[in-house]
A and B are shown apart, each in its own frame.
Chain A
Amino acid sequence: MKIDKIKKINFEEKLICYKITYVDSNFEKLVPLKEGNTDYQFILKWVADGNTIEEAD
């Protein structure tokens, strides 16, 4: 699946997780800010590759 966007999710104005959404899909992931989580590792690489995380609402 191709990533549509990755967005910051805040709780009480503090970053609490990321949301990954995909193109043409209702499937999504909420990713904790934990180094051992492979989705979190993917997000770090995705950013290192030049992509940008969308700010929280």
Chain B
Amino acid sequence: MALSKIDVANMLTGATPVANGGTAATTLAAAGLGKRPNAKPIFINGNMAVSQRRTSTTGQTGDGYHVVDRMNMLVTNCGTYTVAQEALTSGNAFANGFANAFRIDTTTADSSPASGDILAVQQIFEGQNVQMFKKGTANAEKFTLAFWVKSNKTGNGQVNLFDNDTSGNRLVGATYSISSANTWEHKVVNFPADTTGPLDDDNAKSFIVEWWLDSGTDYSSGAVPSAWEARSNTDRNAGGALQIARNTANDWAITGVQLEVGEYSSTTLPPFQHEDFGDNLNRCLRYFYRINPDADAAASIGEASYYSSSAAFVCLEFPVAMRDSPSLEQSTGTNYFNLNRNSANDNFNTFNNLNASDHTSAHLYISADISGTAGHGGRCRFENASARLAFSSEL
């Protein structure tokens, strides 16, 4: 919907602004713009543009944030996958402004998953970031989840909302139908409000959106939970028939994910909130911060100082406050890092200690392979393009 001119007079009177030359259907309220309580997208990195870790990885058999930021994959004894940030150059999703997607390809099939096997993709939310749904109150809001999806498989997939705070957890689900193979389709899924179980107003794991792609009967022998219920695992993939794990020809991709407060249809859904890349990246950095994402062999890590003749600290401040005190993730190897001081260089293999870490800064401690003078300063940098260093505060 293009708005060529806004009637400012209406704004001054408090009436709903109307697009000049438009119809009633083109009012901002009708488009949902006047209803959003959230200034930023609730679903982070919904356009799949940020992928700090890598753009593709093969042989994935387990859980983790393998590629695209904020997109967590659950795999329990259920096949092997290539996971990628797929660059889009054609198709309906691309034509609607999405140049990237999160994609999995089955490379080793599990033709008959055992009862407890799982294949799912999810995003996990801090409770303090989803308070606008007023869950657990008399004023609880409905949920709308919209996304672009593509698969070689047609049929129903199941997507759930999961309350991780209420004792025993709560769950609601719905199915979406993929009508045409290998074709980007836009889905709008509605979920009811939940007046039971408020979400904690904190930085912990409270709320999850989960797409189930395959499973054993422990997760599929129930019924799709169309109303909020106490969690029953057998319901979580009861309506899912995509069975992505079962053949190496299978793939599944998603982009343009938006989670909205309230109930919308495909015609009333507010437009996707496109952020610029920097804003999107900054929101992702709260959960994961990779130093030197371009893998420059000599990129800077930070200023260092010698604590003793054989040990040094590197003090780092994170570019944004992280969700909680992060773990340091590193790939180590012979001479992967370097400490340059007093006209000399020491190569070293690993950071030995994570010291005095909080959600805004950390001290990295080196206690092997270096030598210097206590009190001397220096610079710490990468020495090998294969070295990786990151901080993770994922949920």
Point out residues on A near B: beta carbons under 8 Å.
Answer: 1, 9, 11, 16-17, 26-32, 34, 36-40
Contact = CB atoms under 8 A, between A and B. Distances in A.
Given A31-B327, A37-B325, A16 B355 contact: yes
Given A17-B354, A32-B354, A26 B327 contact: no
A38 B325 contact: no
Contacts of B357: 17, 32, 34
B392 A39 contact: yes
Interface stretch (B241-249, B263-271, B275-283, B330-338): B330-338
27 contacts: A1-B62, A9-B353, A16-B353, A16-B355, A26-B332, A26-B333, A27-B329, A27-B331, A28-B332, A28-B350, A29-B329, A29-B330, A30-B327, A30-B351, A30-B354, A32-B327, A32-B357, A34-B325, A36-B323, A36-B324, A36-B325, A37-B324, A37-B325, A37-B326, A37-B327, A38-B205, A40-B327
Contacts, number: 64
A27 B175 CA distance: 38
Contacts of B326: 32, 37
A30 B353 contact: yes
A36 B354 contact: no
B137 interface: no
Given A9-B353, A34-B325, 7 more contacts: A16-B354, A16-B355, A26-B332, A27-B388, A28-B331, A30-B328, A36-B325
Contacts of A28: 329-332, 350
Nearest to B62: A1
A17 B330 CA distance: 15
Interface of B: 62, 203-205, 323-333, 350-355, 357, 365, 388, 392-395
B210 to A, nearest CB: 17
Nearest to A21: B332
Closest 5 CB pairs of A and B: A36-B324, A30-B354, A34-B325, A30-B328, A32-B357
Contacts of A34: 324-325, 357
Contacts of A36: 203-204, 323-325
A38 B395 contact: yes
A39 B352 contact: no
Nearest to A34: B325
A31 B354 contact: yes
B353 A38 contact: no
Contacts of B354: 9, 16-17, 30-32
B83 to A, nearest CB: 14
Contacts of B328: 29-30
A15 to B, nearest CB: 11
Contacts of B352: 9
Among B330, B331, B332, B354: residue with most chain A CB under 10 A: B354
A27 B330 contact: yes
Contact of A37 (B329, B331, B351, B393): B393
A29 B204 contact: no
A32 B393 CA distance: 11
Given A9-B353, A38-B394, A39-B392, A29 B327 contact: yes
Contacts of A39: 327, 392
Contacts of B350: 28
Nearest to B311: A11
A30 B394 CA distance: 14
A4 B161 CA distance: 34
Contacts of B323: 36
Among A27, A28, A38, A39: residue with most chain B CB under 10 A: A38
A47 B394 CA distance: 21
Contact of B325 (A1, A9, A27, A32): A32
Contact of B355 (A11, A27, A37): A11
Contacts of A32: 325-327, 354, 357
B308 to A, nearest CB: 11
Contacts of B324: 34, 36-37
Contacts of A1: 62
A44 B392 CA distance: 18
Nearest to B395: A38
Contacts of B392: 29, 39
